Amino acid sequence: MLDVKFLRENLEEVEKRLKTRGGAVDLSGFRELDSRRRKLLTEAEALRARRNAVSEEVGRLKREKKDASHLVAEMQEEGAKLKALETEATGVDEELNKFLLEVPNVPHTSVPVGNDSTDNPVIREWGERPDFKFSPLEHTDVGEALGILDFERAGKISGARFSLLMGAGALLERALINFMLDLHTREHGYTEVLPPFMVKSAALQGTGQLPKFREDLFKVEGSDHFLIPTAEVPVTNIYYDEIIDEERLPISYAAYTPCFRSEAGSYGKDVKGLIRQHQFEKVELVKFSHPDSSYDQLERLTANAEEVLKRLGLAYRVVTLCTGDMGFASAKTYDLEVWLPGQGKYREISSCSNFEDFQARRANIRFRPKGGKPRFVHTLNGSGLAVGRTLVAILENYQQEDGSVVVPGALRPYMGGLEKIVKKS
RNA sequence: GGAGGGUUAGGCUAAUGGUAAGUCACCGGUCUUGAAAACCGGCGGGCUAACGCCCUUGGGGGUUCGAGUCCCUCACCCUCCGCCA
């Protein structure tokens, strides 16, 4: 959510910059709503001030055993006026709030202007793409041939966009989770968190998924619970409505969770394989930062996610999302894209964002500067990494001509020393 | 599921229906060579150039001239019982 005062004072500039995100941005209603709200507030406050003064006078008269009935009668009338005014003010307030909750974050000045993913500049590349002496298969073919991936049977159980990992496939997934968590907690200074996998709507509003993106979520029937679309939601909301001691910043958390997404509107996209699922596993990195250093923290967080790919020996590139491709709540986002030889493309495997105070304002997460008033923190997060897609990358990059898959060295300690996944006879 | 107790500002804690008192921590100041102590001030949010004014006692609603306090409702926490991995 944007700061009302900031919006009031910079409306034209904000509108101009939000337009670069593409889509419909209409802030024209703001001025009217804001001034109506302020006018009603002033009127109601004046009435309340009078009521408070008169009530005090009534109390004084009663204590002195004097008659106060004329004042009481007067206030009974005034009370009705005040109530009407308050009802109207509450209405306008709700309208303004509803409006503000749907306004996206303002892109940082360093974000390139562009329309879509084709305008995202590549800022660095790492690693060698493997050179195959044969035509590399997609991960679905590799996995199904090895008997470690089963989409048919997953379909019987849960329908489309679900998967079944068997044997070495399930072990590989578990190894990746443990490897990533160990790397971030032991070497990058993150504290491990295992949060709830269901959250209430207030938490989703805090991080920005609600109210605008309800259709992307799975909701539990008959209660105010949603399945988390990412660990960002429960982990960022750990400090919902809290004031954090300044000395504790930055706070860095790493969390493994499954993620659940309805993928509404993505029909026909990535229908095959593990790339786009209703349920997938992810290790997420979340930071709470002092506003002065949040962009340094974004660089560090991104580097921490990249380290996973480096240790696994997977070629990747880093792109800066242009204004038209950024998420709703983000001020700046880097995507990590891993090379998938089976598809012959780079595919997103991590998305690292600085939300500045956009989420902190919604979730009321503040810190107290030395001797000063509480200020909003900056929140950041990034995948470190999407586990399912990492498994895809391993199957495609480490596949052998005989159909086996070599286990990257970094993962072998997590797989009982297994060096190669082969078909079980 | 049943019974009882609870939720007040960063923490802790008070307030016969009369307009949120105190305390600890923290910040600033006076004093001091420096520090501590002591004393003074500040320490939830909004509006205002300022003086001030308004809001804030878990959420929502009601009664009342006036609600932390009374009533209704919801949420969460604690204790006990039942069920349960």
CB A81 within 8 Å of CB A47: yes
Whose C1' is closest to the CA of A242: which nucleotide? B10
Range A309-324 average pLDDT: 98
Please name every residue paired with A376 in a beta bridge, in sequence order, or none if there are none.
Answer: A366
**Residues 28-57 of chain A in contact with strand B via CB under 7 angstroms:** 38, 41-42, 44-46, 48-49, 51-56
DSSP state for residue A183 in the 8-state scheme: I
Residue A36 known to be catalytic:
no
Tell me how far apart the alpha carbons of residues A385 and A390 are, in angstroms, rounded to a whole number.
7
A202 touches strand B (CB under 7 A): no
CB A385 within 8 Å of CB A180: yes
pLDDT of the residue at A233: 94
A70 touches strand B (CB under 7 A): no
Tell me how far apart the alpha carbons of residues A291 and A303 are, in angstroms, rounded to a whole number.
19
Residue A158 known to be catalytic:
no
Residue A351 known to be catalytic:
yes
Percent of chain A with pLDDT over 70: 100
* pLDDT above 80 (res A24): no
pLDDT of the residue at A90: 83
Residue A311 known to be catalytic:
no
Q: Which residue is nearest to nucleotide B65 (CA to C1')?
A: A72
- Within 7 Å of a protein beta carbon, the nucleotides of strand B are 10, 18-19, 26-28, 42, 44-47, 53-55, 61, 64-66
Q: Give the Å distances, CA to CA, from A383 to A1, A177, A181, A257, A406.
A: 23, 12, 12, 11, 24
Rounded to the nearest 5°, which phi and psi values hold at A224? -85, 40
> Which tens digit of pLDDT belongs to each residue from A38-90?
888 889 889 999 999 899 889 888 888 888 888 898 888 888 888 888 888 88
A223 touches strand B (CB under 7 A): no
> Which tens digit of pLDDT belongs to each residue from A139-164?
999 999 999 999 999 999 999 999 99
Tell me how far apart the alpha carbons of residues A230 and A293 are, in angstroms, rounded to a whole number.
25
CB A129 within 8 Å of CB A341: yes
Residue A348 known to be catalytic:
yes
Q: What is the mean pLDDT of chain A?
A: 92
